Amino acid sequence: MLRRAVDRRGRRAAWIALAAVSVVLPFQLGAGALSTAVFVLIAAIGAVGLNILSGYAGQISLGHAFFLAVGAYTAAVLGGDHHLTAAIWLPAAGITAALCGAIVGPTALRLRGLYLAIVTLGLVYIGQYIFLNATGITGGPGGRAFPAVSFGSALNFAPGNQLQIAGLTIDSNGLYYFLALLILWLAVGFTYSLQRTRVGRAFQAVRERELAASVMGVDLARTKVSAFVISSFLAGISGALFASYLSFVVPSQWDLLLSIQYVAAIIVGGMGTVLGPVLGSIVVFALPDLITHLSFVNTSGSGGITPGDLSNIIYGVLIIVFLVAEPRGIVGLGDRLASLLGGRRRRGDHLDPSGPSPGTNPTTGGGVFP
């Protein structure tokens, strides 16, 4: 009982420390590193959504890029064409993607595993055809501009705009960072709460064994569709922020490679864990920028291995290594390390030379037996 209370306090302290670091971090980073941090946070929102679908509900999806694109182009139409505030187009992006998820979700009722993955893979190619030909919405192969986040004239995230708070100056990169951070923490908090609800337990039951879940009274149709809807909603939010931050996107960016990157993120971080998607996103989506600083990587485009090529190789290696060695990813490694250190600490306490030696009475110092 005492150990559980100590562990609970330790986790609470870790969460508080993580929140404090995430708030202070942007003020310690340069412009390039801050931009990378923004992309990681935005990607992590979508990874949290995919983790709910695949990590908790056990529904394999390779079509995450499609839902990201739906959210992005919803933002383009409402924010760019109709000049609505982000307070409208940002949630609308999530809702539109969630509706698409509700349409796709019923396919999971008849398919599972590899077959479901192939169907969701088809979404990417269907989406590519639609996005390349719907020029009025997407701009066609040439792409289109996307609106900057704006909550009225008082708070505009366009480049060059700044916000003064308590003597601190926050530029457009910082504004995107804190908006993405807020949404990410809400998504993580939602996931943390969801796994303890009846819906969350139904997700996990379906993941473990559908037949047993059905016998226990779990509504498979409602559970699977709910997982797709929640996952797609977060993907739509992530896609809208991603396109808005880039300010210009072409349809070819919403391809299979992007979906695989999200799959890699939840596998590397830890499927079915709360913080796994965030940790995995840090590894996967910050990797290309880190690779550009390696001396043997060619960034000029004149031949040799490129950052994208090396990133793809590393993604594949990490997926194989974690699936074989540690299916719970970085979170699982952390748990193993904590257990190892905890075991050593307990053994050290048992043999603490300052305490009573084995075989003695702790009160009198004499033998245990008279």
* Residue 358: pLDDT over 50: no
- Given this model, what pLDDT does residue 369 score? 30
* Residue 365: pLDDT over 50: no
Ramachandran category for residue 60: left, alpha or beta (phi over 0 → left; psi -120 to 50 → alpha): beta
State the average pLDDT over residues 137-152. Answer: 91
Per-residue pLDDT tens over the stretch 60-92: 899 999 999 999 999 999 999 999 999 999 999
Q: Where is pLDDT greater, at 340 or 43?
A: 43
* Residue 348: pLDDT over 70: no
Closest C-alpha to 284, from 113, 53, 44? 44
State the average pLDDT over residues 109-124. Answer: 86
- Percent pLDDT > 90 in the chain is 51
Per-residue pLDDT tens over the stretch 26-47: 888 888 889 999 999 999 999 9
Per-residue pLDDT tens over the stretch 160-194: 787 877 777 888 899 999 999 999 999 999 999 99
State the average pLDDT over residues 246-275. Answer: 92
**pLDDT category, 111, cuts 50, 70, 90?**
confident
Q: State the pTM of this model.
A: 0.87
* Residue 12: pLDDT over 70: yes
The b/e string for 271-304 (b: 16+ C-beta within 10 A; e otherwise) is bbbbbbbbbbbbbbbbbbbebeeeeebeeeeeee
Q: Where is pLDDT greater, at 298 or 190?
A: 190
The chain-wide mean pLDDT, for the chain, equals: 84
- Given this model, what pLDDT does residue 54 score? 93
